[in-house]
């Protein structure tokens, strides 16, 4: 089957880049305090990304700009729009602003798409998607992508929510599952909605439940997303069940914890805290002195120069800037592509200057 995205990519339309603002084209309420925001480019460009990747949105909240990272809930097989589904938690500023103020027709800046928690496009595997709360969004994108691909679909989709009314995009999932028998949906809730019948599962996901609803879990590649304690519990459960954890993938906007043997080896120059370096911010006409162990982002902040940032550990790609001259020591976590690196881009949050560096900022 020919993918819509392949068809589109072969047309004359360009591919959207984050230099171009997004225009909000729809806002759809999904659940309490939760909505899906869809965007189109202001040009004829189309979106290209991997199912499971994220976007960082620049949100003009009162008091200053904030950058928030959201998993893309749409599928790259539908490349004319891109969507994020967001849930405002108590105390949230950026997401609350989106729910209260972002309307169709408004423009917004975004960075990305980025992220390594993504479904390999060409692989035909059996999948077990496990999610909780708003962590449903990557599973939603991946399932939509597989549904659109049309062949070799084998998905067991398990989602945990507080109540049935909190299940995000339930109708969209049921619509896909009703047309493709090899997409099996399981919703587990902790409480019923008052005065509404619930015939699905209740309680919490555990070894017994997973054995009942996905008895062949040992044969499946697992993708898990949700709050950190939920993902930790799922991980421990799967280890106890004897799953091959090489086939376990977990979304995280927290800094990846790496063991010594997983750290990259560098044969290039290692930053020395006693060696002086300098960064020239060409667009701002500022030259800042620093040490080789300072990050470019920290030096910029100290010099009063704003470089947008999100995760601050090389995952989200928000702080990507172009290097004009000099060398940096960059240790990222997947937030920048090899193509961008070849084109001279660096991530400011995880790059340290070696000697004199000049940036296009």
Q: Under 8 Å CB-to-CB from 69, ≥6 apart: which residues?
A: 54, 55, 56, 57, 253, 310, 311, 316, 318
The C-alpha atoms of residue 356 and residue 110 are separated, in whole angstroms, by 30
Interaction between residue 112 and ligand FES (CB under 6 A):
no
Dihedral angle sign, alpha carbons of residues 88, 145, 313, 253: positive
Q: Of 188 and 311, which has the nearer Cβ to ligand FES?
A: 311
The C-alpha atoms of residue 171 and residue 164 are separated, in whole angstroms, by 12
Interaction between residue 312 and ligand FES (CB under 6 A):
yes
Residue 75 CA, chain-centre distance (Å), reads 13
**Shortest CB 88 distance to ligand FES, Å:** 22
Interaction between residue 311 and ligand FES (CB under 6 A):
yes
Residue 176 · residue 147 · CB < 8 Å: yes
**172 class by beta-carbon count within 10 Å (0-12 exposed, 13-18 middle, 19+ buried):** middle
Interaction between residue 309 and ligand FES (CB under 6 A):
yes
Q: Under 8 Å CB-to-CB from 197, ≥6 apart: which residues?
A: none
Interaction between residue 164 and ligand FES (CB under 6 A):
no
Q: Of 116 and 237, which has the nearer Cβ to ligand FES?
A: 116
Interaction between residue 53 and ligand FES (CB under 6 A):
no
**Shortest CB 295 distance to ligand FES, Å:** 9
Q: Which of 333, 296, 300 is nearest to 69 (CA)?
A: 333
Q: Tokens at residue 117, please?
A: 């928690």
Q: Which one of the spans 32-40, 234-242, 268-276, 313-321 is the region binding ligand FES (CB under 6 A)?
A: 313-321
Interaction between residue 173 and ligand FES (CB under 6 A):
no
Interaction between residue 72 and ligand FES (CB under 6 A):
no
Binding ligand FES (rule: CB under 6 A), the pick from 155, 222, 319, 328 is 319
Interaction between residue 328 and ligand FES (CB under 6 A):
no
The C-alpha atoms of residue 123 and residue 142 are separated, in whole angstroms, by 12
Q: Of 69 and 131, which has the nearer Cβ to ligand FES?
A: 69
Binding ligand FES (rule: CB under 6 A), the pick from 251, 335, 352, 353 is 335
Q: Greatest CA separation found in the chain?
A: 68
Q: Tokens at residue 155, please?
A: 């998905």
Interaction between residue 115 and ligand FES (CB under 6 A):
no
Interaction between residue 347 and ligand FES (CB under 6 A):
yes
Q: Which one of the spans 34-42, 156-164, 278-286, 309-317 is the region binding ligand FES (CB under 6 A)?
A: 309-317
Q: Which one of the spans 21-29, 222-230, 243-251, 310-318 is the region binding ligand FES (CB under 6 A)?
A: 310-318
Binding ligand FES (rule: CB under 6 A), the pick from 314, 321, 346, 359 is 314
Interaction between residue 316 and ligand FES (CB under 6 A):
yes
Please count the other Cβ atoms lying within 10 Å of the Cβ belonging to residue 162: 14
Binding ligand FES (rule: CB under 6 A), the pick from 310, 323, 352, 361 is 310
DSSP-H helix ranges across the chain: 4-9, 94-101, 136-149, 170-179, 207-213, 228-240, 296-302, 338-342
End-to-end CA distance of the chain: 44
Binding ligand FES (rule: CB under 6 A), the pick from 305, 317, 321, 361 is 317
Summarize as ranges the residues that interact with ligand FES (CB under 6 A): 309-312, 314-319, 335, 347, 349
């Amino acid at each position: 089957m020919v993918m819509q995205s392949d068809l589109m990519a072969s047309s004359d339309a360009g591919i959207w880049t984050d230099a171009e603002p997004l225009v909000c084209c729809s806002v759809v309420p999904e659940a309490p305090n939760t909505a899906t925001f869809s965007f189109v480019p202001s040009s004829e460009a189309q979106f290209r990304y991997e199912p499971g990747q994220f976007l960082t949105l620049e949100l003009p909240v009162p008091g200053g700009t904030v950058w928030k990272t959201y998993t893309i809930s749409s599928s790259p097989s539908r490349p004319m729009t891109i969507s994020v589904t967001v849930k405002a938690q108590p105390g949230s500023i950026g997401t609350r602003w989106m729910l209260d103020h972002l309307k169709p027709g408004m423009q917004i800046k975004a960075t990305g798409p980025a992220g390594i928690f993504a479904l390999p496009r060409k692989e035909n595997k059996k999948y077990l998607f496990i999610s909780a709360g708003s962590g449903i969004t990557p599973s939603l994108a991946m399932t939509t992508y597989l549904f659109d691909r049309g062949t070799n679909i084998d998905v067991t989709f398990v989602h945990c929510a507080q109540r049935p009314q909190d299940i995000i995009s339930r109708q969209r999932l049921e619509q896909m599952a009703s047309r493709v028998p090899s997409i099996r949906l399981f919703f587990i809730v902790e409480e019923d909605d008052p005065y509404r019948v619930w015939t699905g599962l209740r309680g919490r996901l555990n070894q017994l439940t997973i054995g009942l609803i996905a008895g062949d879990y040992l044969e499946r590649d697992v993708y898990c997303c949700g709050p950190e304690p939920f993902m930790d519990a799922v991980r421990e459960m799967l280890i106890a069940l004897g799953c091959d954890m090489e086939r376990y993938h977990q979304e995280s906007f927290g800094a990846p914890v790496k063991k010594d043997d997983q750290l990259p080896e560098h044969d290039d120059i290692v930053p020395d805290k006693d060696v002086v370096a300098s960064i020239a911010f060409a667009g701002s006409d500022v030259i800042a002195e620093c040490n080789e162990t300072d990050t470019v982002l920290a030096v910029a902040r100290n010099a009063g120069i704003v470089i947008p940032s999100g995760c601050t550990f090389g995952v989200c790609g928000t702080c990507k800037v172009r290097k004009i001259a000099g060398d940096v020591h960059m240790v990222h976590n997947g937030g920048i592509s090899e193509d961008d690196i070849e084109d001279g881009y660096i991530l400011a949050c995880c790059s340290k200057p070696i000697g004199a560096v000049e940036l296009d900022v």
